[in-house]
Amino acid sequence: MDNARLIPSAQNLQPLKYYIVDYDKRESVFPYLKWAGYLTDWNGPVEGERPAAYIIILSDTEISKNVKYDHGIAAQTILLGAVSKEMGGCIIATVNRDALVQTLQIPSQYTIELVIALGHPKENVIIKEIDKNGDIKYYRDNEGNHYVPKRKLDDIIITR
């Protein structure tokens, strides 16, 4: 969290606030998250493999009503910090915000921007180059490997 405190912020407004959901409250968040949309036969992690904690990134509307980018920077900063401590995580934007606000009694001054799920990874993440068919969908095998296609360097740079 202290890394997130130091991130760059447009106009240095620092409109983000954080709701830390620790181990005891974790089950109250899980039902309101949508996991891995491309894995259509998977409803998210089963009990026992679910995130140990969450950080809910909120914007404080009394500071800014138009937080365009800061939450993305905050999310990646938190994840890098987690990985440096041998944890893993996932940024989740598909959130039932109304239900989560109600469940956690989050004051109306705050808007949920993103949820960060944190825990100790169960799977290996393997980066693949996107092949000729251009498919960007991630997929899994039965040995605990999660494959993530990424575009080639030449395909993301438009001038040389």
Ligand X SMILES: Cc1cc2nc3c(=O)[nH]c(=O)nc-3n(C[C@H](O)[C@H](O)[C@H](O)COP(=O)(O)O)c2cc1C
Query: Which residues of the chain form contacts with ligand X (CB under 6 A)?
Result: 34-36, 90-94, 125, 138, 148
Minimum Å distance from CB 154 to ligand X?
19
| Residues whose CB falls within 8 Å of the CB of residue 72, separated by 6 or more in sequence, listed in order | 114
Closer to ligand X by CB, 20 or 148: give it: 148
Minimum Å distance from CB 70 to ligand X?
13
Minimum Å distance from CB 127 to ligand X?
7
Minimum Å distance from CB 39 to ligand X?
9
Closer to ligand X by CB, 24 or 156: give it: 156
Closer to ligand X by CB, 4 or 159: give it: 4
Cα(137)–Cα(57) distance, integer angstroms: 26
Cα(50)–Cα(29) distance, integer angstroms: 11
Minimum Å distance from CB 91 to ligand X?
4
Per-residue b/e over 96-118, b at no fewer than 16 CB within 10 Å? eeeebbeeeebeeebbbbbbbbb
* Residue 47: exposure state from Cβ atoms within 10 A (0-12, 13-18, ≥19): exposed
Q: Give the 3-state secondary structure of residue 7.
A: coil
Closer to ligand X by CB, 18 or 138: give it: 138
Closer to ligand X by CB, 63 or 130: give it: 130
For residue 26, which of 58, 2, 55, 64 has the smallest C-alpha distance? 55
